[in-house]
Chain A
Amino acid sequence: MAVIEIKNVAKRFGNYQALSDINLTIEDQEFMVLLGASGCGKSTLLRIIAGLETASEGEVWIGGKRIDHLPPKDRGIAMVFQNYAVFPHLTVFENIGFGLRMQKLPNDEVTRRVTRVAELMHIDALLKRYSGELSGGQRQRVAVARALAMEPDVILMDEPLSNLDALLRMEMRAELKGVLAESNTTAIYVTHDQVEAMSMADRISVMHQGKIVQAASPIEVYRNPAAEFVAGFIGNPPMNFLTATPAGTGQWQVAGLALDGPQSGAETLNFAIRPEDLRLSEMGMQAKVKIVEPLGAHLLVTCEVDGTLFRAVLDSDLAVKRGDTLTLTPQPDRIRWFDPVSTRAVA
């Protein structure tokens, strides 16, 4: 059982507040992805869990035991580094067995475990090679195998696929997910790639400026972003925003369209809708077409609504061209509302 609890963790580098108010519980055998733009503190949080960095405040618990004062090796973790950190002076075999050697396991046990994970990661033919004789993808596999060989409670991964080319990344994504599900470990996976996050995670923690903005399942993060930042960050293209003004109780005026919305006393709200949740109709928002991008499966149309850029994903059969005016209606159950002051979602 390896539940990870992060309680009120904060981290300062000098005057710079890298993390604040981090509270997160990761269930046993859960695959948690920390997602956020570069510099938002993902690696710092992961390194605090690993013990490579000390939190300025707060506690970290793994498996019901407080571990933030323990050295990395006593935390029951293993880690996969962004640049692999495969030792260049050791063979693949000795790299994978490094942690086991440090635990002074007997030779035959080391051989047994190294062989098993090497087969699992399909690198059993490379065991005698050195890191300089491997491709990036193979080195990545060695790094993962080295972590798996420890049979840890928790595997921490810091952008493990970011140095691979797109095709390999897609392949490794699926494979990693499968291997980790088999191994029954709890996993924390750091990435800035939302596709990676959506496809791999049981749960995503979206981070922004040193805070966790939302921690929920991928579909929940996508459908019900808890804050404007999440709505604008997740999805490609991201959500569209327009300003809404009150038009009676629970009624809001958006770009000339009256819509049902939350009962709120706010002066204005921000209306948000995903580009794929817009339909062409007789009545709706007037959108002046600026750019038309045929993407094969559908058409990505960038327009202007109420002086704001607005994207719609439409059927690829439509004959739309620059300069046309479209009438768009949002699908009512997909509309989300945000408070412009707190930037949080309003129900």
Chain B
Amino acid sequence: MNARFLPYVLIAPVTLFLCLFFLYPFVLVAKQAFSTGAGFTMDNFRDVVSYWKFPISMKNTLLLAAAVVPVQLALALLMATMVNKMKRGRDLVLYVWTIPLGISDLAAGIIWLAIFEQSGFLNSMMHGLGLIDRPVNFLSYQHPGVVFLAIALAEIWRATAIMLVILVAGIGLIPKEYYEAAEVFGASPWKRFTRITLPLLRPSLQTALVLRVILAFEVFAVVAALGGTLFPVLMGETYAYQFDLLNGGAAAAMALIILAISIGFTLIILRLLRVPKGATI
């Protein structure tokens, strides 16, 4: 076969698959979002945006992402650096740290619910220590801070490993000689981290952050398990439009808004962490 066409032939099946099961449904969702039955309209968007819960769910989603992602980034970097320094037992530690990845997000939410709920571990522990007289319902409207904290903790516990595996792979690729050169020329361990590791890790950081930020805007099951209606988020509202209010058009509009935010942040991350022109990393 002609070598010029071979690559295209080889990627054809995947392209076809994606068109059929991704692009086509996407077009359908977009069509649904921009129509209420009679021609093109922005009504769905106007409706969802003007609904009183929209600003709150938007604020909650962004706040959660802003609280969780930086902590996860710092933790993942720390853990990746530690794993990279290990000589023995490295694989075992990595397996243990990535266990939460194997648990579905709803299950993760339920695990943390078991900790925070009125008859949960936290209550029995605090009771046992004599810190409280009777069980407290932490996850109630009286403790919005605790609700937020519980959700953030569960998210950090659940999804830090996604960044970790990407960063471990990236750090492992940085030649040892760069660190030795930096050390000889007077860079402290911290300077070696900020001047060598971080810049050389940019491609991996991009991937890890984009992936994690997109997931953060799609947060749903953990919030549903721990916060219920106390902590509305964008994805939760989308679900409510589709299945509680049976308003497919509004749900589609919400989905597109989430997509737009994700794309926006992806572009920002790619821009901030771009490799200077000419530099090869």
Contact = CB atoms under 8 A, between A and B. Distances in A.
Interface of A: 50-52, 71-73, 77-79, 81, 83, 85, 87-90, 98-99, 102-103, 129-133, 146, 150
Nearest to A149: B185
B134 to A, nearest CB: 57
A88 B184 contact: no
B186 interface: yes
A173 to B, nearest CB: 22
A130 B278 contact: yes
Given A83-B175, A129-B278, A132-B279, A89 B200 contact: yes
A88 B279 contact: yes
A88 B184 CA distance: 17
* 10 residue pairs, one from A and one from B, having the closest CB atoms: A132-B280, A99-B185, A102-B186, A73-B186, A85-B181, A85-B177, A89-B199, A130-B279, A130-B278, A72-B184
A158 to B, nearest CB: 10
A83 B177 contact: yes
B19 to A, nearest CB: 37
B49 to A, nearest CB: 42
B277 to A, nearest CB: 9
Interface string B167-201: 00000000101101111111100010000100110
B82 interface: no
Contacts of B187: 73, 98, 102
Contacts of A50: 184
18 contacts: A50-B184, A52-B180, A52-B183, A72-B184, A73-B185, A81-B177, A81-B181, A87-B178, A87-B181, A87-B182, A89-B199, A89-B276, A90-B279, A98-B185, A102-B187, A102-B191, A130-B276, A150-B185
Interface in B236-281: 275-276, 278-281
B184 A78 contact: yes
Nearest to B199: A89
A178 to B, nearest CB: 24
Contacts of B175: 83, 85
Given A88-B200, A102-B191, A79 B184 contact: yes
Contacts of A89: 199-200, 202, 275-276, 279, 281
Given A52-B183, A102-B187, 5 more contacts: A72-B186, A85-B175, A85-B180, A89-B199, A102-B186
Contacts of B182: 87, 98
A275 to B, nearest CB: 40
B40 to A, nearest CB: 48
B205 to A, nearest CB: 13
Interface of B: 175, 177-178, 180-187, 191, 196, 199-200, 202, 275-276, 278-281
A73 B279 contact: no
Contacts of A77: 184
A79 B280 CA distance: 23
A133 B278 contact: yes
Contacts of A131: 279-280
Contacts of B202: 89
Contacts of B180: 52, 81, 85
B190 to A, nearest CB: 12
A77 B281 CA distance: 28
A52 B184 CA distance: 8
B187 to A, nearest CB: 5
B186 A79 contact: no
B1 to A, nearest CB: 35
Nearest to A156: B184
A107 B162 CA distance: 41
Given A73-B183, A102-B186, A132-B280, A85 B191 contact: no
Contacts of A150: 185
A104 to B, nearest CB: 10
A85 B183 contact: no
Nearest to A47: B180
Contacts of B183: 52, 71-73
A103 B188 CA distance: 11
A223 B279 CA distance: 50
A155 to B, nearest CB: 11
A51 B181 CA distance: 11
A78 B183 CA distance: 10
Contacts of B200: 88-89
Contacts of A146: 185
B177 to A, nearest CB: 4
A245 B101 CA distance: 78
A312 B281 CA distance: 53
A132 B187 CA distance: 23
Given A73-B183, A88-B200, A132 B177 contact: no
B239 to A, nearest CB: 43
